Amino acid sequence: MDLTDVSEELAHIEGQISDIFRALSNGFQKLEKIKDSNRRSRQLEELTGKLRECKRLIKEFERVIKEEEIRNTHDTNKRLNEKKQSMIKELNSYVALKKQHASENKRLDLFDGPDGGDVFAEENVLLASSMTNQQLMDTGHGMIDETDQAIERSKKVVEETVNVGAETAASLKAQTEQMSRIVNELDSIHFSIKKASQLVKEIGRQVATDRCIMGMLFLIVIGVVTIIIVKLVHPNNKDIRDIPGLAPPANRKLL
């Protein structure tokens, strides 16, 4: 969308905002390469000023949109508002990036040695000498409050880390106990399968023994029946012994 066709003032403001966004992008890229905390602080202050200027220009952009809202069509106003929201979104991304670098810079300040600020020591002394006692006290209290807040944040991080570690240890302990129970259950199942196999073998042997006994009894019965039949058919055959309890047919008396 070419803002020149809508309003010269809006196009001019958009150009200024685009220039600031490019400067912010280059500034943050340069900031990532700076290791010295004092130089990083100065770069952050410069970027903060550009962020404030960008915020002011976006508000100016919004003011002009409202003034020309009546003269523009509905579709044009919609596109202008979308353009404004896009600028606000990009500005917020740079603000978040600035906060991230500011927090990192504070951590670097905590770990810097006593020689870390020698380059700007004289400048800091001059600034302090130009302050009143009340300003010095306010500045000192502010620095103490920031330090306390940083310490509290560090404590929270440590507490969260300890809690996560405790939860992980408890979870590992529970999983270890569960694995032990599973191993015990597998041992019990293996023992049960072994006992079942032995029982099946014993039942098989008993069945085989019963079959042998039944076969022998069957043969005995067949033999007795055969002898009885032969004795009845040949009662005078002396080669066949009498079965105890069964007299020959000839010697039987009819009642």
Two tokens at 235?
């009662």
pLDDT of residue 236: 66
Single-letter code of the amino acid located at 123: E
Two tokens at 43?
């770069």
**Number of Cβ within a 10 Å radius of residue 41:** 19
Give the Cα-Cα-Cα angle 71, 75, 77 (nearest 5 degrees).
50
pLDDT of residue 239: 61
| Mean predicted confidence (pLDDT) in 164-171 | 88
Give the list of residues 6+ apart from residue 228 with CB closer than 8 angstroms, or none.
243, 246
Q: With bands split at pLDDT 50, 70 and 90, how would you rate the model's confidence at 190?
A: confident
pLDDT of residue 240: 56
Q: With bands split at pLDDT 50, 70 and 90, how would you rate the model's confidence at 121?
A: very low
Two tokens at 101?
């670098």
- With a pLDDT cut of 70, the percent of the chain lying above it is 78
End-to-end CA, the chain: 139
Name the region of 245 (left: φ>0; alpha: ψ -120 to 50; beta: rest). Answer: left
**Number of Cβ within a 10 Å radius of residue 195:** 10
What pLDDT digit, counting tens, does each position of 85-108 carry? 988 999 999 888 888 888 776 655
Mean pLDDT of the chain: 78
In the predicted model, is pLDDT for residue 112 greater than 50? no
pTM of the complete model: 0.41
In the predicted model, is pLDDT for residue 202 greater than 80? yes
- Name the residue with higher pLDDT: 81 or 245: 81
CA dihedral 164, 170, 176, 179 (to 10 degrees): -100
In the predicted model, is pLDDT for residue 13 greater than 80? yes
- With a pLDDT cut of 90, the percent of the chain lying above it is 8
Give which of 39, 36, 81, 89 is closest to 61, Cα–Cα.
81
pLDDT of residue 19: 92
Two tokens at 116?
């870390």
What's the rounded Cα separation, in Å, for the pair 253 and 255?
Answer: 6
Burial of 112-129, coded b for 16+ CB within 10 Å and e otherwise, reads eeeeebeeeeeeeeeeee
